[in-house]
Structure 1
């Protein structure tokens, strides 16, 4: 069993619903959702393009997947989440944009958002006592030889390279795509998410996702609202 602390809007939020329809899966229920064809994409192409983020569910990573440390318990983790959520106020990402990060698409902030960076860093620090050390195989999967010195340091200290100064908020909408396919997918994404682009995104809750076994789909175990 692995756990992860992610941001996702509430289950009934319109963005959550739109993302589930795009990815073909609802991470709250764990059930598949009909995607439907949208020219010029066939249903097969759409399912292939969204296969990777479909397994993880719609989210932005705060504390990357981890096994529980010796002596830690799921109940203790949830209690710590409740305390953190109760003392952390809701804030807005001022505007949401569609971005390309390398070869994949994601929803990203349209401009730097210092409260978001602070929120993510607080999550990493606060829940570090619950994380078991990475196994050598997990470290190798991160290809440390390809990371920057700062990213390797974060991997060693926090178990994930892309935290603190390397953090980049993103809510993934596709796997890596070839350039021609990416060019076809982009206008479809802009159409599907038009109602959310350029508008604020409230960071209103903290979610605990669980992966029952390696390679299994992640589902929402607990979603807690932040303080109003």
Structure 2
């Protein structure tokens, strides 16, 4: 398969009960590259609630989606990801909790996040040679929401505003919801998903993913953190 962009994710283990539920909630399996049926949750239009994040699959971004720089190849990126993962130790934090990010819902870490922040920062900086510069249209799109000075610096240097000190580990579960709908969705996820979450959460590998021409992301390979 030919990919238009590549990203490096934390992709939760496919065989864990919590991640099976969460992937079904989103409706997309990055490993198989297939739609998943949503869980039956009365009163919720899950397909509409998850439409925006669905194409990315269940994940937390470590290095944001990028087009390959001129002269770089997927094969070279795969080799570099393997070497990078071999230099990094597994990381963990106490667990996950459901949080509001504006009008989105996401899983956020509980406890000390320094180790995962370091992993993400290393991923951004050490693999940046593979990233093509952003187009003017991409820059304008990122700036449309309004960026703080440090976010603008990140955008110009690393191709994304919310990296390094601006990074916040999160696993997105919804699109932007009307405020009146948030409590019902929160209640449903607190009832069905939160009791399944692991404590602690251990991140033992990173996932190289690719965006297909239809915009959906697919798992290319997992690389064990073995440093």
Superposed pair shares fold, TM > 0.5? yes
Residues 7 and 206 in structure 1, CA contact (< 8 A), matched pair in contact too: yes
Q: Offset at 1:205?
A: 1.0
In structure 1, the residue matched to 2:6 is: 3
1:70 matches 2:70: yes
Measure how far apart 1:19 and its partner are. Answer: 1.3
Contact residue 9 and residue 204 of structure 1 kept, 8 A: no
Runs of 4+ off more than 6 Å: none
Distance of aligned partners of 1:156 and 1:181 in 2 relative to their CA distance in 1, 3 Å threshold: same
What CA deviation, in whole Å up to 9, does each residue of 1:67-107 have, x standing for no partner?
Answer: 10111111110001111111212121212111110000001
The alignment status of 1:227 with 2:226, answered yes or no, reads yes
Whether the aligned pair in 1 keeps the contact of 2:209 and 2:217 (CA below 8 Å) is: yes
**Could you tell me how far 1:197 is from its partner in structure 2?**
4.2
The aligned residue for residue 43 of structure 2 is 40
In the alignment, is residue 115 of structure 1 matched against residue 99 of structure 2? no
**What is the CA–CA distance in structure 2 between the aligned matches of 1:11 and 1:158, rounded to whole Å?**
30
Aligned length: 224
SS at match of 2:79: helix
Q: Who is 2:134 aligned against? A: 134
Contact 1:144 1:152 in 2 (8 A): no
Determine whether 1:188 maps to 2:188: yes
Contact 2:97 2:194 in 1 (8 A): no
Gaps of 5+ in 1: none
CA offsets 1:100-129 (integer angstroms, 9 cap, x no match): 100000010123411111111000011100
Larger CA deviation: 150-159 vs 88-97: 88-97
Where do 5+ consecutive residues of structure 2 fail to align? none
TM-score (norm. length: structure 2): 0.93
SS at match of 1:146: coil
Q: Distance in 2 between matches of 1:167 and 1:32?
A: 29
Partner of 2:18: 15
Q: Which residue of 1 aligns with 2:215?
A: 216
